[in-house]
Amino acid sequence: MWRRGLGNRRFRGADELRRHIIFRHFSPGLGTSPARPRGENAVLDRYFKYPGVLRRLRSGALGKEMDRIAAHFFDIGYKPASAKIYISRLGRFSEFANGDAGTVTIGQDAIDRFVLSLQTASPRIAIRTAIAHARKVAPERFSTPCRRGMPDPDGQLLTAYLDHLRHVRGLEPKTCEGLLKGARRILAWLHDHHPAQPLTAITGEHVLGLVGHLLSLSANNSTRSSTTSYVRTFLRFLRWAGLNGQDLARFVPRTPCWRLQHLPPQLAWEDIRRAIDAIDVTAASGARDRALLLLLATTGLRNKEIRMLELRDIHWRTAEVFVRRTKGKRDRVVPLLDEAGAALADYVLYARPKIDNSCVFLSCAPPPRPFKCPASISTIVRSRLERSGVKLTGAAGAHLLRHGLATQLVRQRRPINEVADLLGHRSIDTTAIYVKVALPQLTDVALPFPGAAS
């Protein structure tokens, strides 16, 4: 059981719950990590007891740093069993490298030879992970590996393009990443079909051939529209930077893409409710996942917004959640319902790892850390839906619950402007897609069928 010390104590009333949250979480001295074992040079004794093992670990090429490395595993929250595995593998590598390194720094060739000496893939992955941790703790013991391969001939151009996107256009990092990938595809096509030809010599005929090739790689209208968009952006950069004096962007054809031509992906509200109720909250991961799904299902937060949510953004007294750095670059406030607030309080008080990080949702597997990848949240949502027996036909993630909330609100005849404000849409036209699934409202405006009895 993860609720230590308080058993199955439950709080009655929103006021009592919020008072306990504010006192428990923001009181000084609470929620901190446990103290490190005393003695910086004796941390290995926490994991190993036999004197012979301790002497062997402290005698290799990394012998003087092994206690610091062990303290590093303790500080970042590794379980003792996992830390012992990494330390043991580092001990074997330390003995192997001792004959080559001694007091000299350990080179990449020694690491590669030791990894190749292992028979299977699992220990190879483990030792590379352990060595990466050792590099963080004692970088002075490792020599910087030399970079192999030829330099990127387009590196300088792509660096200038990325700088333009970030500082001149002011685009988000994720958007810049997609545009940079598109620029690489454009340059690769130019190198293959027009080698040794400078960018100043590109003409409209070249652009039409490039666009035809790129559009042939995709059949989805949305993808084709995005493809022509990033081609236009790169060509405009070439003119802005003085690399080509022509307005080549005008040769890129417009790809029709009707935003309201499809129904939004949706999930029945009963399925969302069943998935939330099926979560076992006696485990720390269950308490986290229930709070996460309830927050997604009742506030409509996006994947990035739920990952960036911080403890200071939860306003317990006013039952509100302050959402920062939204997709539209506008902050907004969403209501925190009683059930979602209670689940979030249980997670923060009893199940959330006590580490020095302000993000609300953290990984339960050691070392506990914030979620950096969108796939992590999507995997949690999809697994919880599948465990409850919900059949998923396509991609499922945090956005599926967002669609479910919007569809449910529209079906309940909530004003469309309120739904747009909750979801953080700049334009009400973006929210209008959910009207297409509001059958009760559509029946009110349906015209009689021609020829039917009046």
Domains of the chain by residue range: 40-141, 155-251, 269-443
Our answer to whether residue 124 is catalytic in this structure is: no
Average pLDDT, stretch 409-426?
Answer: 78
What three-state secondary structure class fits 324? coil
Tokens encoding 26:
């923001």
Find the range with the poorest average confidence among 5-19, 86-100, 124-138. 5-19
CATH number for the domain whose boundaries are 269-443: 1.10.443.10
Q: What pLDDT score does 344 carry?
A: 95
State yes or no: pLDDT of 388 exceeds 50. yes
Q: What pLDDT score does 30 carry?
A: 36
d(CA 126, CA 376): 22
d(CA 232, CA 239): 11
Q: Are residues 62 and 97 in contact, defined by beta-carbon separation less than 8 angstroms?
A: yes
Residue by residue, DSSP assigns 147-167 as: P-SPPPTTHHHHHHHHHIIII
Q: What pLDDT score does 100 carry?
A: 56
Our answer to whether residue 184 is catalytic in this structure is: no
State yes or no: pLDDT of 405 exceeds 50. yes
Average pLDDT, stretch 156-174?
Answer: 91
Mean pLDDT for the chain overall? 81
Task: Given the residues 250, 327, 387, 414, select the one marked as catalytic.
Answer: 327
Of 256, 271, 348, residue with least CA distance to 311: 348
- Helices 155-163, 173-193: axis angle to 10 degrees equals 150
Task: Given the residues 18, 164, 352, 402, select the one marked as catalytic.
Answer: 402
State yes or no: pLDDT of 147 exceeds 60. no
Q: What pLDDT score does 427 carry?
A: 74
300: left (phi over 0), alpha (psi -120 to 50) or beta: left
Our answer to whether residue 402 is catalytic in this structure is: yes
Q: What pLDDT score does 431 carry?
A: 73
Binning pLDDT at 50, 70 and 90, where does residue 429 land? Answer: low
Tokens encoding 106:
């350990």
Per-state percent for the chain, helix, strand, coil, to nearest 5: 60, 5, 40
Tokens encoding 18:
């919020």
Q: Are residues 70 and 43 in contact, defined by beta-carbon separation less than 8 angstroms?
A: yes
Residues with Cβ within 8 Å of residue 238, at least 6 apart in sequence = 199, 202, 244, 248
Q: What pLDDT score does 419 carry?
A: 79
Our answer to whether residue 50 is catalytic in this structure is: no
Summarised one tens digit per residue, pLDDT across range 174-222 is 889 999 999 999 999 999 998 888 999 999 999 999 999 998 888 777 7
What three-state secondary structure class fits 315? strand
pTM score > 0.85 for this model? no
State yes or no: pLDDT of 276 exceeds 70. yes
| More confidently predicted of 25 and 179 | 179
Tokens encoding 448:
């009689």
Average pLDDT, stretch 39-61?
Answer: 83
Our answer to whether residue 327 is catalytic in this structure is: yes
Q: Are residues 300 and 406 in contact, defined by beta-carbon separation less than 8 angstroms?
A: yes
| More confidently predicted of 199 and 411 | 199
State yes or no: pLDDT of 365 exceeds 70. yes
Task: Given the residues 302, 352, 382, 403, select the one marked as catalytic.
Answer: 302
Q: CA-CA distances (angstroms) from residue 147 to 95, 159, 298?
A: 26, 19, 50
Average pLDDT, stretch 334-359?
Answer: 92
Our answer to whether residue 399 is catalytic in this structure is: yes
Q: Could you give the percent of the chain with pLDDT greater than 70?
A: 80
- The residue type of 100 is D
Q: What pLDDT score does 80 carry?
A: 85
Task: Given the residues 89, 164, 399, 403, select the one marked as catalytic.
Answer: 399
Q: Look at strands 320-323 and 314-315 and give their pairing.
A: antiparallel
Of 6, 24, 4, 28, residue with least CA distance to 16: 24
Find the range with the poorest average confidence among 107-121, 333-347, 425-439. 425-439
Binning pLDDT at 50, 70 and 90, where does residue 400 land? Answer: confident
Residues with Cβ within 8 Å of residue 248, at least 6 apart in sequence = 202, 203, 204, 207, 235, 238, 239
Residues with Cβ within 8 Å of residue 362, at least 6 apart in sequence = 288, 352, 353, 355, 368, 369, 370, 371
Tokens encoding 343:
């689940």
Q: What pLDDT score does 426 carry?
A: 75
State yes or no: pLDDT of 338 exceeds 50. yes
Binning pLDDT at 50, 70 and 90, where does residue 364 land? Answer: confident
Radius of gyration for the chain, computed over Cα atoms and rounded to the nearest angstrom: 28
Neighbours of 403 (CB within 10 A): 19
State yes or no: pLDDT of 65 exceeds 80. yes
